[in-house]
Amino acid sequence: MRHIMVMNAKGGCGKSTLATNIATYYANQGQIVALADYDPQQSSLDWLDGRPDNLDPIVGIPAFDSGLRQVPRNADVVVMDAPARSHGRELTTLMKNAETILVPVLPSSIDIKATRRFVNELRQVSKVDRKQVRIGVVANRVNENTLIFDELEVYLRRLRLPYIGKLRDAQNYVRAYNRGIGIFELPEYLAWPDWAQWASITSWLDSKRSQP
């Protein structure tokens, strides 16, 4: 059973967007997928409530209340949406089951500074120090022709962690969320630029580089 966690202590950076789209990516491949929402705001579970019955099923887990106890034994992939403001012992506990962690970062000075502190805290967790988990970073909601995106890319490339992809600031993600679907389930003519950007992320997730 594969465990993938999306986390960043900074709120509003798109954790649920990444988590729901990773869940649909694996569900579309015929995998049995559980989506565990640790955030009391329940953004991922709210998205799942609107998912059409005719699409590949995803099992919702209210992990903020019961942890992973309700995950089906036959699940192939568990995607975990972590809450914001996770630090110290709570951070260590959240990471207990994670084999792969994705950290989304927005192109803003505030987010870059917050992520710098968060990554430093991650590196102090013994599981990371012992290389029992793999971490990848994603530039999220970017407009490439901006100075702040250039600043973000410089930071991410110097981070000494895999910089696995960038996702544009697109209404497709809003459309998909509101319909309970993933970016991969939108029509190709509408979403092909986003599919192209996701290719490097899913390639990393599917590779041994993303697993301890």
* Nearest-5° Cα angle at 129, 125 to 132: 95
pLDDT digits (tens, 9 = 90+) for 21-59: 999 999 999 999 999 999 888 999 999 999 999 999 999
SS3 135: strand
pLDDT tens for 126-149 read: 788 788 999 999 999 999 999 999
Of 116, 112, 110, 107, the closest CA to residue 168 belongs to 107
**pLDDT tens track for 148-188:** 999 999 999 999 899 999 999 999 999 999 999 999 999 99
More confident residue, 182 or 115: 182
Query: Is 106 exposed, middle or buried, given 0-12, 13-18 or 19+ CB atoms closer than 10 A?
Result: buried
The answer to whether 56 and 88 are in contact (CB under 8 A) is: no
Question: Where are the domains positioned within the chain?
Answer: 2-201
Q: How many CB atoms lie within 10 A of CB 149?
A: 17
Q: At the top level of CATH, which class does the domain 2-201 belong to?
A: alpha beta
Q: How confident is the model at residue 116 (pLDDT cuts 50, 70, 90)?
A: very high
Do residues 86 and 40 lie in contact, with contact meaning Cβ atoms separated by under 8 Å? no
- Give the helix ranges, DSSP H, for the chain: 15-27, 43-49, 63-66, 88-94, 109-123, 126-129, 147-157, 171-179, 188-205
The pLDDT of residue 143: 94
Considering only CA atoms, which of 189, 205, 149 is closest in space to residue 24? 205
